[in-house]
């Protein structure tokens, strides 16, 4: 018998039924009144989601497109930037920056750990010509949450722009852009926002806009200055991803109905549940501290083939992700962002155990499901951790 498919990957993530129904609607024209109305209605809601007084611009691309758009708009070839590199997506920032002709200083962070803000401070103190810092809010390849609020406290005091890839963080854990002092925040549709891939969102701070204006348009397609002008008219520069934006209106409504506080509380409780479940299965989470709320990366016991664990979990309908780069085959990444609840996560932990048993890595006889449920309930009771807010 077929199992129910449970997509527990850190993107794409499952779609709520109301979103799927919105996506199935027939086309409306992106230059006509009904679409303009949708865009004007979305804008203030997106600004609340990002925690900014600046416009949030939709782009028709995957999340990486918004990374390129932000970096290209804010820095000219030859300008110096620091890239926080502690995983696959930090590497991507470096590759993007290099492709744009920026001069990159890599702040290397061991995979599975978070950047130390004091190291960034020292780099910026040593070289006042550094113009920007590129970082992930959540490094999805390792499940690490970088201390972006602390990084922004350092960059906001100087003429250094902080560009934060929030692709696996926006809608999952708090990262209020203006309150923290982030200069560019971006995300993609297929993670916390419970949408299919193909839509990216990006916002710039006031001083980031001033920098973008001073440089002028730097890219024909990713022209954020022209996108901002279009967004004032309720449009996008090129043909808009109409269905995705209609789906977005519904996923934002789901957030608004629950309230973001509740959304974050659920994500936090699922994170505590996943970590405790994994620990009770005898698995060691990759990130000891500063862990992402939307996924849990765990090390596999020596000799256990990660590919085999994933295959055997998939036989039970549970699709999880493996490691990337040097972590390939060595870790499992259990996604729990977006439209995932405790029932899905129980299925995920069960499938993980079955995978371990079949791959020869199961040793613990602990009551891992009981432990996971207890951690979930305790986290819901206790509310959000102080340091995250």
Q: Whole-number minimum distance, CB 40 to ligand PLP, in Å? A: 26
**Per-residue b/e over 28-56, b at no fewer than 16 CB within 10 Å?**
bebeeeebeebbeebbebbbebbbbebbb
Number of residues that bind ligand PLP (CB under 6 A): 13
* 6 or 146: CB nearest ligand PLP: 146
- x/- site string to ligand PLP, residues 134 to 173, per CB under 6 A? --x-x-x------------------------x-xx-----
Exactly one of 28, 36, 64, 217 binds ligand PLP (CB under 6 A); that residue is: 64
Give how far the C-alpha of residue 205 lies from the chain's centroid of Cα atoms, to the nearest Å. Answer: 19
3-state secondary structure at position 85: strand
Count the neighbouring beta carbons within 10 Å of the beta carbon of residue 294. 28
User: In what helix (H) or strand (E) does residue 90 lie, and over which residues does it extend?
Assistant: helix 88-99
What is the torsional sign of CA 257, 333, 110, 98? negative
Token readout for 41 is: 């209605």
* 43 or 324: CB nearest ligand PLP: 324
* 196 or 234: CB nearest ligand PLP: 196
Q: Whole-number minimum distance, CB 82 to ligand PLP, in Å? A: 17
Q: Which of 354, 348, 366, 346 is nearest to 281 (CA)?
A: 366
Exactly one of 6, 11, 130, 306 binds ligand PLP (CB under 6 A); that residue is: 11
* 95 or 119: CB nearest ligand PLP: 95
Q: Whole-number minimum distance, CB 11 to ligand PLP, in Å? A: 5
Q: Which of 33, 62, 10, 47 is nearest to 256 (CA)?
A: 47
Q: Does 89 bind ligand PLP (CB under 6 A)?
A: yes
β-strand 130-136 against 318-319: which pairing, if any? unpaired
Q: Does 324 bind ligand PLP (CB under 6 A)?
A: no
Q: Does 62 bind ligand PLP (CB under 6 A)?
A: yes
Count the neighbouring beta carbons within 10 Å of the beta carbon of residue 16. 16
Q: Candidates 58-66, 202-210, 347-355, 375-383 — which segment interacts with ligand PLP by CB under 6 A?
A: 58-66
* 198 or 282: CB nearest ligand PLP: 198
Contact 300, 338 (CB under 8 A): no
What is the torsional sign of CA 335, 174, 263, 13? negative
* 241 or 361: CB nearest ligand PLP: 241
* 67 or 356: CB nearest ligand PLP: 67
Exactly one of 51, 55, 63, 306 binds ligand PLP (CB under 6 A); that residue is: 63
What is the chain's length?
389
* 63 or 234: CB nearest ligand PLP: 63
Rounded Cα distance between 138 and 384, Å, is 17
For residues 109-138, which are near ligand PLP according to CB under 6 A? Answer: 136, 138
Residues contributing to the site for ligand PLP (CB under 6 A)? 11, 62-64, 89, 136, 138, 140, 165, 167-168, 188, 197
């Amino acid at each position: 018998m077929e199992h129910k498919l449970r997509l527990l990957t850190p993107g794409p993530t499952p779609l709520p039924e109301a979103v799927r129904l919105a996506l199935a609607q027939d086309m409306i024209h992106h230059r006509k009144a009904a679409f303009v109305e949708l865009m004007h209605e979305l804008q203030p809601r997106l600004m609340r989601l990002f925690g900014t007084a600046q416009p949030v611009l939709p782009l028709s691309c995957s999340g990486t497109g918004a990374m390129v758009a932000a970096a290209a708009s804010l820095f000219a070839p030859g300008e110096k930037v620091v890239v926080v590199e502690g995983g696959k997506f930090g590497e991507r920032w470096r590759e993007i920056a290099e492709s744009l002709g920026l001069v990159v200083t890599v702040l290397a962070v061991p995979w599975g750990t978070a950047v130390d803000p004091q190291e960034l401070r020292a780099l910026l103190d040593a070289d006042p010509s550094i113009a920007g810092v590129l970082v992930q809010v959540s490094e999805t390849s390792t499940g690490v949450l970088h201390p972006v609020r602390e990084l922004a406290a350092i960059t906001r005091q100087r003429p250094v722009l902080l560009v934060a890839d929030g692709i696996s963080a926006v809608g999952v854990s708090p990262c209020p852009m203006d309150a923290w002092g982030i200069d560019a925040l971006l995300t993609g549709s297929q993670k916390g926002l419970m949408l299919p891939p193909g839509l990216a969102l990006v916002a710039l701070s006031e001083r980031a806009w001033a920098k973008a204006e001073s440089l002028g348009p730097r890219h024909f397609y990713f022209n954020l200055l022209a996108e901002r002008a279009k967004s004032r008219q309720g449009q996008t520069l090129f043909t808009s991803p109409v269905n995705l934006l209609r789906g977005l209106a519904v996923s934002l409504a789901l957030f608004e109905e629950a309230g973001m506080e509740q959304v974050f509380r659920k994500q936090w409780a699922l994170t505590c549940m996943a970590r405790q479940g994994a620990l009770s299965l005898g698995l060691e989470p990759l990130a000891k501290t500063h862990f992402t709320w939307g996924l849990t990366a765990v090390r596999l016991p020596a000799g256990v083939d990660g590919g085999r664990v994933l295959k055997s979990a998939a036989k039970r309908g549970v699709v999880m992700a493996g490691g990337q780069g040097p972590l390939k085959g060595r870790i499992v990444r259990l996604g729990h962002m977006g439209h995932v609840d405790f029932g899905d996560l129980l299925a995920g932990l069960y499938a993980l155990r079955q995978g371990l048993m079949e791959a020869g890595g199961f040793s613990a006889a602990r009551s891992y499901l009981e432990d996971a449920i207890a951690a979930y309930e305790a986290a819901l009771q206790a509310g959000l951790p102080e340091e995250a807010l």
